[in-house]
Amino acid sequence: MVDIVIINWNSNGYLQKCIHSILSSDNIHYVKMVYIIDNNSDDASVDHIQLNNKIEIIRNKENRGFAKGCNQGFKLCTAPYVLLLNPDTQLLNTTLEDCILFMGNETEIDILGCRLLNDNGKISPSCARFPTPVKLFMDSFGLPKVFPSIVKPAILMTEWDHKNSQYVNQVMGAFMFMRHSVFDKIGYFDERFFVYYEELDFSKRLFEFGGKSYFNTNISIIHSGEGTTKAVKGFRLFLNLHSRLQYARKHFSIAGYFLVWFCTFFIEPFSRTFLLLIRGEFKEISEIFKGYNLLIKSSKVMFEINKIESNK
């Protein structure tokens, strides 16, 4: 049996499709509970969910972030397996059965990922490697996009077609099928990450503990992608950059962290703008300024907080 945790924030019709796929006759037999954590959505997306004895909705009075929302759900789970699932996904008929059978046979695997198909049926890159300061430095110049055959991205494994199964550092949080025992080993998500990089940090801690993540291309779901954030690109950029700095501070040396910090503030704004100019995507440039404006304001606040705490 599996408990499913879904974090919802203004997912509109995506959530309904997701729940419908979970409650299909093929999947429902393997579901113990579905926990929908709603982070103060204002689109009434959870109001249209038809409740039954296998669905519980937790409505937060504020947007607590992805990591905190996940932990709310994880702590309610009691089934042997826990599935973290995005609201903009749809399970296929045998997805849950295939996952349970595979994990039952491969007892050394802690986290299982599957092939994510976009709305056109094409495979989307969904696995990641643990980044290094040097790799993030090359990313800041946009080198993986300019020379994709030579320079690999620091994190997302876009150079791999995902058509074969293999062990990986991290599978995307859109679909993370985990043994419940993982939480006993390493705890829950680090709630200092509001959104982004929390799954990477979680997988990094599991890897250091000796745990394993595996991508199985023979199991699939539909993943629309950017279902809840595509309308707020500047804000999404800010959240991503902010979490990346947090990850660097936690896992890199002081020198490594400051390299990432320098690239983030003094190289990447210009390289991002330059690449958009070349592509003719002029409207997207304003989103970069919005994202960095939020990041600078946030950094000033964090600097003042750290200054106050250091003087205590």
Can you give the C-alpha Rg of the chain in angstroms? 20
Confidence of residue 149 (pLDDT cuts 50, 70, 90): confident
Whether 195 and 278 map to the same domain: the answer is no
Whether 68 and 179 map to the same domain: the answer is yes
pLDDT in tens, 27-46: 899 999 999 999 999 888 88
Provide the residue range defining the domain that includes 294: 233-310
Confidence of residue 232 (pLDDT cuts 50, 70, 90): confident
* Best CA proximity match to 148, nearest among 291, 235, 268, 275: 275
The answer to whether residue 241 scores a pLDDT higher than 60 is yes
Per-residue pLDDT at 300:
60
In a domain, 228, yes or no: no
Whether 269 and 170 map to the same domain: the answer is no
Confidence of residue 307 (pLDDT cuts 50, 70, 90): very low
What residues pair up with 57 in beta bridges, in sequence order?
Answer: 36
Domain total of the chain? 2
User: What's the number of CA atoms in the CB half-sphere (13 Å) around residue 274?
Assistant: 11
Give the highest mean pLDDT range of 46-50, 106-110, 295-299. Answer: 106-110
* Best CA proximity match to 155, nearest among 174, 175, 133, 177: 133
pLDDT in tens, 43-96: 888 888 877 899 999 999 999 999 999 999 999 999 999 999 999 999 999 999
In a domain, 141, yes or no: no
In a domain, 134, yes or no: no
In the 8-state DSSP scheme, what is residue 156?
A: B
Whether 112 and 217 map to the same domain: the answer is yes
Domain closes at, from 200, 223, 246: 223
Contact 48, 19 (CB under 8 A): no
Per-residue pLDDT at 212:
97
Whether 171 and 97 map to the same domain: the answer is yes
**Neighbour-count burial for 97-115, b at 16+ CB within 10 Å, e otherwise:** ebbbebbeeeeebbbbbbb
Domain closes at, from 223, 246, 267: 223
Domain closes at, from 223, 242, 269: 223
Contact 206, 186 (CB under 8 A): yes
Q: How many Å from the N-terminal Cα to the C-terminal Cα in the chain?
A: 50
In a domain, 10, yes or no: yes
Whether 48 and 121 map to the same domain: the answer is yes
Whether 121 and 187 map to the same domain: the answer is yes
Whether 285 and 304 map to the same domain: the answer is yes
User: What's the number of CA atoms in the CB half-sphere (13 Å) around residue 94?
Assistant: 5
**Neighbour-count burial for 284-293, b at 16+ CB within 10 Å, e otherwise:** beebbebbbe
What's the CATH code of the domain at 46? 3.90.550.10
Per-residue pLDDT at 278:
87
**Mean pLDDT of the region 264-287:** 90
Whether 212 and 239 map to the same domain: the answer is no
Contact 48, 28 (CB under 8 A): no
- Provide the percentage of residues in the chain whose pLDDT is more than 90: 76
Whether 193 and 298 map to the same domain: the answer is no
Three-state SS string over 218-264 comes to EEEEEECCCCCCCCCHHHHHHHHHHHHHHHHHHHCCHHHHHHHHHHH
Provide φ and ψ at 19, rounded to 5°.
Answer: -65, -40
Measured distance CA(61)–CA(40) in Å, rounded: 5
Measured distance CA(12)–CA(227) in Å, rounded: 9
Contact 49, 55 (CB under 8 A): yes
In a domain, 81, yes or no: yes
